[in-house]
Amino acid sequence: MVDDRPLAQRLHLDLPLLFGILLLAGLGFVVLYSAGGQDAALLVRQGIRLLMAIGIMFLVALVPPRHLAFWAPWLYGASILLLLAVLFVGDVGKGAQRWLDLRVIRFQPSEMVKITVPAMVAWFLAERPLPPRFLSIMTAGLIILVPTVLIARQPDLGTALLVAASGALVLLLAGIGWRLIGVVTVLLGACAPILWYLMHDYQRQRVLTFLNPESDPLGSGYHIIQSKIAIGSGGLYGKGWLNGTQSHLDFLPERSTDFIFAVFGEEFGLLGALVLLGLYLLVIGRGLVITAGAQDTFGRLLGGSLILTFFVYVFVNVGMVTGLLPVVGVPLPLVSYGGTSLVSLMAAFGILMSVHTHRRLLSG
């Protein structure tokens, strides 16, 4: 039988989503060139990483959601084992034990967990009627808690919280009652002192500095102060591409990675920021449309959680860079330099495309 569907459909690609991703990545290259000191080699490296990640997205998109659902528990189990392996035999990089060196490849299992945790929770809940009953909620909570704790012990509090959030989003989408959400929120608030006690010094310092950056202008408050100056001085139209003085004269550390939005804000101003956020919203909007139109519960839950987690990244990064949130090591997706989170990001988009393009046209 000749397959005469359009190419995009055969490849299981969702063109609007792909388009939005590519636009964002393109904008990312533009600002990365400036932030990286006009280093063409940097762009090439990032470009290669991006191509490989897009390749992964294509591959994942080909897998139908019911296969993803079948493999979810196995992958989850494997990722737990890998997290345990990291804790016991992992490599240390940047002061935390996050990496596994498998001679051929070096990777962070916590990246894998960003997909497997919501997938597992989604699989678990999809089997049961929604909204989930109390016992199911508790079990889901456990599914989320175990990897979260393992990551937090690396120590990597930022990623741990994001993983927990992605799992929690599945629960929220699955329809747990508002009252329950309220109760849990209050409980978490009450837990704050315990969390404070458990935090490392530098993590506490970050929170304190966030609350008052001027108290430590040359230490950890430095990032926030410099970032705000950079963004603020950009004004409405920005200083122009490659003209970011603040971010270029070695004043803004991490300017190619976590703080790249500061370079963006300085060079393209408020209008540029509007364009960037607009693009993110388009991508997120498309993701939510896909989620709403998905046919099976698993696809909806997982897809929705993944796209909303994407938003969380954007919100946390921009919030941190503008001084609304404490400094946590969260990169700006598709724009920041670096490849580790790019893979899980593109895999997530691949899943969304898969969910969308594997719909069977049912009658009724």
Instruction: Tell me which of 205, 279, 315, 340 binds another protein, using CB under 8 A.
Output: 315
Among residues 81, 82, 68, 156, the alpha carbon closest in space to that of 115 is found at 68
| HSE (side-chain half, CA atoms, 13 Å) at 23 | 15
Q: Closest separation between CB of residue 329 and another protein, Å?
A: 19
User: What secondary structure letter does DSSP report for 90?
Assistant: P
* Residue 3 binding another protein, by CB under 8 A: no
Name the segment binding another protein (CB under 8 A); options: 40-48, 113-121, 197-205, 272-280.
272-280
Q: Note whether 131 binds another protein by CB under 8 A.
A: yes
Please report, for residues 148, 161, 191, 203, 321, the alpha-carbon distance to residue 206 in angstroms, rounded to integers and kept in the order given.
20, 15, 19, 5, 13
Among 228, 275, 282, 359, binds another protein (CB under 8 A): 228
* Integer Cα distance of 53 and 346 in angstroms: 6
Nearer of residues 152 and 165 to another protein, judged by Cβ: 165
Per CB under 8 A, 319 contacts another protein? yes
Q: Judged by CB under 8 A, does residue 96 bind another protein?
A: no
Of 81-89, 133-141, 220-228, 327-335: span binding another protein (CB under 8 A): 220-228
Can residue 217 be called a binding residue for another protein (CB under 8 A)? yes
Residue 173 found at the interface with another protein (CB under 8 A)? yes
Stretch that binds another protein, among 5-13, 147-155, 273-281, 353-361 (CB under 8 A): 273-281
Segment near another protein (CB under 8 A); pick from 6-14, 144-152, 223-231, 347-355: 223-231
Q: Is 120 in the site for another protein (CB under 8 A)?
A: no
The residues binding another protein (CB under 8 A) are 129-131, 172-175, 217-218, 222, 226, 228-236, 245-246, 249-251, 265, 269-270, 273-274, 277, 281, 284-285, 288, 291-292, 297, 300-301, 304, 308, 311, 315, 318-319, 322-324
